[in-house]
Structure 1
Amino acid sequence: MRDKVEQALAKVRPALQADGGDVELVNITEDGVVQVRLQGACKGCPMSQMTLKNGIERIVLKEVPEVQSVEAV
């Protein structure tokens, strides 16, 4: 599952990098929660939660159905 999640994150990474940010996969829990760390400009951005839920989580859930949610750590 980790490879599938990494591939999904690779799809959103260019958009994040265009704004000076990035995302790093930290962990996938046994119950399907993907834990990521926002980096660069995304780290302190007030819109980071919206980016996380409407961007990153939406793509990951679409690409990897066994994932339950995505959260920042």
Structure 2
Amino acid sequence: MSAATLTDHPLLPRIEVALDGIRPYLKADGGDVRVLGITDDMVLRLELLGACGTCPMSPMTLKAGVEESVKKAVPEIRSVEAVNVATALQPAGQEGRPQPPTAVPTPN
């Protein structure tokens, strides 16, 4: 969906109101969100900005906070996805398979 089409989307004002309700919490932690598009099958695509883009808690924040708020205000939206969410097992910028933590010896 092009940017011009997005700005004309009838759901965008309601989505922005829902996002504005949670933005203070995101901004308190140095983050924010930006709407990138709404797919034909009603998936809201977001970009997580600032600290939210690399925070290991972003997947939980996205589902429990952002998606729940948006879907409550705009039930037409089926789901919310972020294009830049790092998974809890794979930190941002890490390639390959995540490695298990290495045990650190404790002094006796």
TM-score range, shorter chain: over 0.9
Does residue 1:21 correspond to 2:31, yes or no? yes
- Between the two proteins, the alignment pairs up a number of residues equal to 73
Query: What is the RMSD of the two structures over their aligned residues, measured on CA atoms?
Result: 0.5
Give unpaired runs (5+ residues) of structure 1: none
> 1:39 aligned to 44, 49, 64, which one?
49
What letter is aligned with 2:78? Q
Q: Greater share of helix residues, 1 or 2?
A: 1
Q: TM-score, normalised by structure 1?
A: 0.97
Large movers: runs of 4+ above 4 Å = none
Does residue 1:11 correspond to 2:53, yes or no? no
Give unpaired runs (5+ residues) of structure 2: 1-10, 84-108
> 1:53 aligned to 39, 63, 66, which one?
63
What letter is aligned with 1:8? A
Aligned to 2:8: none
CA distance in 2, matches of 1:23, 1:67: 16
CA distance in 2, matches of 1:52, 1:24: 12
Q: Which of the two has higher C-alpha Rg?
A: 2
Higher relative contact order (CA 8 A, sep 6+): 1
What letter is aligned with 1:28? I
- 1:30-69 Cα offsets, whole Å, 9 max, x none, are 1110000001011100000000000000000000010000
Q: Greater share of strand residues, 1 or 2?
A: 1
